[in-house]
Structure 1
Amino acid sequence: MDAGTKATVSKLPLLTVNAGPRDGDKWIARLKEEYTALIAYIKNNKDSDNDWFTLEANPEGTRWTGKCWYIHNFVKYEFDLQFDVPVSYPVSPVELELPELEGLTPKMYRGGKICLDIHFKPLWAKNTPKFGLAHALALGLAPWMAAEVPHLIEAGKLLKQQQ
């Protein structure tokens, strides 16, 4: 991991419960850890004036939806964010989806799933089960948006949104 990645990870709680959606009470314990890490990440972001997403889950904690945004040249670009927790979680990371951007970049799969294969999945694999949803956002979605959104804007594929 590079210094920036280590700094980001050092501010997020690491998870200890190795459980997925089919693991009953262990999944509930894992969800508690997930929420704790997400709350810490959101607090860190707000403290550094870097608030960039909202997120909520269904009652089972298996389907997550929200919004994420990126500010480029003082213009806010906002996108729907969604993902399902796979049954093989946390061995398999979540597949983060930005459906509105589907087909606009080659670094995306069908359904608006962002490509995290080369950079994020090996990092996730080395850190299972310590990484969770907050880590996926901080180390997967945030860098993807920082790389792709400005490129999409400059290529004319994203236009200013009406406020």
Structure 2
Amino acid sequence: MSWTLFALKIPSGSDWSAADRKSAADRKSASSDVARSVRKCFKCKMADEATRRAVSQIPLLKTHAGPRDRERWPVRLKEEYQALIRFVEQNKAADNDWFRLESNADGTRWTGTCWFIHELLRYEFRLEFDIPVTYPDTAPEVAIPELDGKTAKMYRGGRICLTDHFAPLWARNAPRFGLAHLMALGLGPWLAVEVPDLVGKGLVSHKERQREATAE
């Protein structure tokens, strides 16, 4: 599935209409609202300062449409891809590339990989999620099936538990939050907390070391 991202001409100050200025002011206000929500979230130790800076640069989404809205869902999906591409580019620039995602043809089923570096070793996992019919009012439930049953912060089927902090944050910022925010404020902090704990308990082993042990 390929998406073409269109270049936009940014008008000079004299070309801005009253509607343009109001739209820009609305976007600035929305960004401030999100920043306040994220700051409140960080007080709950959900993520670190680096994540906060990264999230502040992710574009906010505008189209309030889910998979059942056949007319506007493609517009929303394009915004999702644009935000994801921006987030991935930011991560690469900061030498913090940590996930890959791809969707089915209609953008309702997403699969990919995520990884976390712990003590100089890369722990990589497959991930998957479906877009709920009530999206974007409801966040998708990200699943890492291979970790199913290994941590209390996970539901049956490997769906990670994000209810305590992320769910209220998403609810306050819907429909402006999208999949890039789900990764940045949901999955990323979850991995940062859970992977070291699982490794320390011996519930997750580095795959390369597993192969070496098997070979011996």
The TM-score bracket by the shorter chain reads: over 0.9
Q: 2:168 and 2:104 mapped to 1: Cα distance? A: 28
Structure 1 equivalent of residue 23 of structure 2: none
- The CA RMSD over aligned residues, in Å, is 1.2
| One-letter amino acid of the structure 1 residue matched with residue 70 of structure 2 | G
Could you state the TM-score of these two structures normalised by the residue count of structure 1?
0.97
| One-letter amino acid of the structure 2 residue matched with residue 42 of structure 1 | V
Tell me by how many angstroms 1:6 deviates: 4.3
More strand by share: 1
Could you state the TM-score of these two structures normalised by the residue count of structure 2?
0.73
Structure 1 equivalent of residue 132 of structure 2: 86
| Alignment match of 2:67 (pick from 16, 21, 43) | 21
Are 1:106 and 2:106 matched, yes or no?
A: no
Structure 1 equivalent of residue 107 of structure 2: 61
Structure 2 equivalent of residue 49 of structure 1: 95
**What stretches of structure 1 of length at least 5 have no aligned partner?**
none
| One-letter amino acid of the structure 2 residue matched with residue 47 of structure 1 | A
Structure 2 equivalent of residue 136 of structure 1: 182
Q: 2:106 and 2:87 mapped to 1: Cα distance? A: 21
| Alignment match of 2:205 (pick from 143, 153, 159) | 159
Tell me by how many angstroms 1:77 deviates: 0.7
Larger Rg over CA atoms: 2
**What stretches of structure 2 of length at least 5 have no aligned partner?**
1-37, 43-48, 212-216
Structure 1 equivalent of residue 55 of structure 2: 9
Distance change in 2, residues 1:74/1:6 (3 Å): closer
| One-letter amino acid of the structure 2 residue matched with residue 135 of structure 1 | H
Structure 2 equivalent of residue 97 of structure 1: 143
| Alignment match of 1:118 (pick from 149, 152, 164) | 164
Q: 2:168 and 2:55 mapped to 1: Cα distance? A: 15
| Alignment match of 2:82 (pick from 32, 36, 54) | 36
Aligned residue-pair number: 163
Q: 1:45 and 1:147 mapped to 2: Cα distance? A: 19
